[in-house]
Amino acid sequence: MIAAAPAGAWTPPLDAEGLAHVIACLRGWQAFDGEALLDDVADALDDVVPAEADVDDLAERLRGHLMRLVNIAVANEAEQRDEAAARLIERARVLRVEELPGGHWNAVGHLRRMGWIASELLERLVERRCVKSPDPTVGGGRAS
pLDDT for res 29? 73
Does the pLDDT of residue 143 top 50, yes or no? no
Helix axes 34-45, 55-75, angle to 10 degrees: 130
Query: Closest by alpha carbon to 128, among 79, 90, 63, 94?
Result: 79
| pTM passes above 0.85 | no
List the alpha helices (DSSP H) in 76-139. 78-81, 83-97, 104-127
Residue of 139, 91, 79 whose CA lies nearest to 117: 91
* Segment 4-62, tens digit of pLDDT: 777 788 888 888 898 888 888 778 777 778 899 999 999 999 999 999 999 999 999 99
pLDDT of residue 75 exceeding 70, the answer is yes
| pLDDT tens-digit readout, 85-128 | 999 999 999 999 999 999 999 999 999 999 999 999 999 999 99
